[in-house]
Amino acid sequence: MMHKIKQWTHGRYLWLRAIGSSVVGYLLDSIIFVLIAFSGLVSGKDLLVMIFAQYGAKMFLDFLPGTFFIYLVVALLRKLHSKKDALEKSSVL
């Protein structure tokens, strides 16, 4: 999902890719889990409530920390990559 969003945004808007893929992935995960775990045990209305409650909790817990974490990892990787490039350039000279 992140790759498709990256194509649509031409490599920009990392936050949109992170949140967009989470929105889709968490919804599918919540639906599949609740249906497998609770089908036949609770009513259809309760299944829907559980799906949306689980989905809401996942999204709430992911939006800020998840996006922050992705930006932190990308910044660290860019820093490491630039140090590697600098070392390679200095060893060539």
12-45 pLDDT, tens per residue?
777 777 777 788 889 999 999 999 999 999 999 9
pLDDT at 89: 67
Phi, psi of 42, rounded to the nearest 5 degrees? -135, 170
* Structural domains of the chain, count: 1
pLDDT tens by residue, 52-64: 999 999 988 887 7
Distance CA 20, CA 16 (A): 6
Of the two residues 47 and 77, the one the predictor is more confident about is 47
CB 32 within 8 A of CB 50: no
Helix-, strand-, coil-residue percentages of the chain, each rounded to 5: 85, 0, 10
CA 43 to chain centre: 31
Query: Dihedrals φ, ψ of 39, to 5°?
Result: -60, 135
Structural domain of residue 18, as residue ranges? 2-92
pTM of the model: 0.61
